[in-house]
Amino acid sequence: MKKIIYLTFDCGYEGGYTEQLLDILKEKGVPAAFFVTLPYLKSSPEIAARMIKEGHTVGNHSATHPNFSTISRAKMAQEIQETDDYLRQHFGYSSPFFRFPEGACSDCSLELVASLGYTSVFWSAAYSDWDTTSQKGADYAFDTVTSRLHPGCVLLLHSQSSDNTAALGRIIDYAIDNGYTFSALG
């Protein structure tokens, strides 16, 4: 297997770090996928537009971030369609990629997402970085992420993590120095 990393971020809300992450990605020439919720798009349209302009994938992460293993098929479809409609109407953009909030899904939800024409994107490496009250520092983020890299890695990070923001440049450099390349979803 090729030493490829697919760098992905979940963006439920803007925590003040995404522009710094985008600056690092631009400097390093690394593509990423940002899975956004509807409130994120509404509250941070300039950042979402920058993601698109700079060639990153903006994936669908649902309208309200519900647990897809517990809601009806109609509600699932509504969650996905609302976010896609907003992307199309306000950004002229649509993406075929969907990430389940919390990774929670069922056979029914997987089938529904596929029937709507989306590819479900999960991850193969992540850590508990979403809790902004429990950040452990850039060195912890660097050590944790780099210890979990592997060929074909789909790396999940959260854009509201100050640790990820502080460590991202070093993580990218480490990966490249160890023979990895970063690729866009596709």
Q: Catalytic positions, please?
A: 10, 158
Alpha-carbon span 56 to 32, nearest angstrom: 5
- Contact predicate 64/74, CB 8 Å: no
Kindly report the CA angle at 138 between 137 and 139, in degrees rounded to 5? 95
What b/e sequence results for 156-179 when a residue is b if at least 16 CB atoms lie within 10 Å of its CB, and e otherwise? Answer: bbbbbbbbbbbbbbbbbeebbeee
Q: Tokens representing 71?
A: 């809601």
CB atoms within 10 A of CB 30: 21
CB atoms within 10 A of CB 1: 7
CB atoms within 10 A of CB 90: 13
